[in-house]
Amino acid sequence: MILCIDVGNTNINFGVYENEKLLVMFKLTSQVARTSDEFGLSISELLRLNNIDKNKVAGVCIASVVPNVMHSLIAAVERYLGCKPLIVGPGTKTGIKINTDNPREMGADRIVDAVAAYHKYGGPVLVLDFGTGTTYDLITADGAIVAAITAPGIRISAKALWEDTAKLPEIEIKKPASILATETVSSMQAGLIFGQIGQTEYIIEKVKEESGISDMKVIATGGLGRIISEETKKIDVYDQFLTLEGLRLTYEKNRR
């Protein structure tokens, strides 16, 4: 079994694979400081609660955009699971070329998203990840990342609304019944959700226009990606487990 770990700015997502099958998935918040023992105990207990024998975990692959958790997390994996983890980064064998001005700036999460999208759907493909930030990455037919767009995520925009304005409350992020809002909560929801839909559709069309690639597939992932993908025909597929699948594929490439 392989444990794949996606360390994002908001959550740490864990997925346990047996061959190509995702057996279980669980998460921890990444916004809580933990020692290696706290990580180790949390991971061990979550594996146990999901009926996974930690002694059968033969390998671990990690993609992280949060450097300050890595020392404790790596130490926990090595001590509690007995594995030296593969850390996705510059030099990791992925099968994806990064044809940008500075390839070392490309986030590990975006790389493994590209690995999974290209493997599952082929190229050219545009990958949208609706996480803390919203990212758009274009992968060509020959498997090269050639463009990367980064925008504030829905949660960042929502947080800015209720933290930086005196009278706006913290709200649930969901699609309201109508864009024609008549009170504060639905007014904020309308702006956040329909604003994100508009941004998404415009960026997709602009990428197609400037790249000259009109037949690209558009794949979405990330926590809030389902809400947006259900509201636009510009997105072809919502793939909830794209990042974890990219981690599994990357581990397999490097193990071979």
CB 97 within 8 A of CB 144: yes
The whole-angstrom distance between residue 39's C-alpha and the CA centroid of its chain comes to 21
Active site residue 142: no
Cα–Cα distance for residue pair 245/17, rounded to 1 Å:
9
How far is C-alpha 223 from the chain's CA centre?
Answer: 8
Per DSSP, 169 falls in state P
* Alpha carbon distance 96, 85 (integer Å): 21
Q: Calculate the alpha carbon distances from 76 to 13, 41, 52, 207 in Å.
A: 16, 8, 17, 41
CA 111 – CA 231 distance, rounded (Å): 26
Q: How far apart are CA 252 and CA 61, in angstroms?
A: 10
Specify the residue for token string 């992280």: 64
Residue 103: asked if its preceding bond is cis (omega within 30°), the reply is no
Q: Which amino acid is at 181?
A: A
**Which residue out of 109, 113, 137, 239 is catalytically annotated?**
109
Active site residues: 109
